[in-house]
């Protein structure tokens, strides 16, 4: 399995680099409602998931199903406009395959957005949250053999949501007068 995964990643990276050979440093996964963000990427190259070997196909309505590579705010980015979900019938290895592909493209930072519900009755549609932690009820996507070039067998999840990036997001929200007061707090963290 591990050699097959490494080969699949190589093929996907080749397909992407044929159309966009420039290294990227930031990966962005767009959740529902943010699909238009990719239009802000300058000098962009759009690649349909259907043309990338081994990539799943996004089946959720409103998900464009393409990678968008180019410049955003002076940074080289790769944007997933549409993503894959376990509830679509994909296994967890398929769900994380695009993230592994972006890692092979050279990203050092990953920004993930999503639309989520909550049980707090004070929440209203459109509230913004900055997630600091989560509880994984789905299972481990890192099953099977672990090729060394794909990263550690058990990555440190104590800072899965990088404190420095969360602080940048909070400061940006303050400057824009956006309320991120509904941040999810894990009881064992400050």
At 181 the pLDDT is: 59
Q: Which class would CATH give 2-175?
A: alpha beta
The domain limits of the chain are 2-175
CA distance 64 to 177: 30
Ramachandran category for residue 144: left, alpha or beta (phi over 0 → left; psi -120 to 50 → alpha): left
At 82 the pLDDT is: 84
At 185 the pLDDT is: 47
CA distance 105 to 73: 19
* pTM assigned to the model: 0.85
Most confident of 42-46, 59-63, 93-97: 42-46
Question: Is the model's pLDDT at 29 over the cut of 60?
Answer: yes
- Could you read off the pLDDT of 112-170 as tens digits, one per residue? 988 777 777 777 777 788 888 878 887 777 777 777 777 887 888 888 889 999 999 99
- Report strand pairing: 75-81 vs 109-112: unpaired
Assess contact for 70 and 21: CB atoms under 8 A: no
Q: Which two tokens stand for residue 120?
A: 């707090």
Which residue, among 45, 82, 51, has the nearest Cα to 64 in the 3D structure?
A: 82
């Amino acid at each position: 399995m591990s050699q097959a995964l490494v080969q699949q990643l190589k093929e996907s990276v080749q397909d992407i680099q044929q159309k966009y050979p420039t290294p990227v440093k930031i990966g962005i996964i767009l959740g529902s409602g943010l699909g238009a963000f990719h239009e802000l990427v300058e000098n962009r190259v759009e690649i349909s998931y259907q043309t990338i070997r081994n990539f799943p196909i996004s089946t959720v309505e409103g998900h464009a199903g393409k990678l968008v590579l180019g410049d955003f705010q002076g940074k080289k980015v790769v944007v997933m406009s549409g993503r894959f979900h376990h509830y679509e019938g994909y296994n967890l290895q398929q769900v994380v395959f695009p993230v592994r592909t972006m890692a092979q493209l050279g990203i050092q930072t990953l920004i993930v957005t999503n639309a989520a519900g909550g049980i707090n009755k004070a929440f209203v549609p459109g509230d913004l949250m900055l997630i600091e932690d989560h509880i994984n009820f789905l299972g481990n996507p890192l099953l099977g053999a672990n090729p060394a070039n794909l990263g550690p067998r058990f990555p440190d999840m104590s800072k899965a949501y990088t404190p420095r990036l969360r602080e940048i997001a909070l400061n940006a929200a303050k400057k824009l007068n956006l309320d991120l007061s509904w941040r999810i707090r894990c009881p064992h963290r400050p």
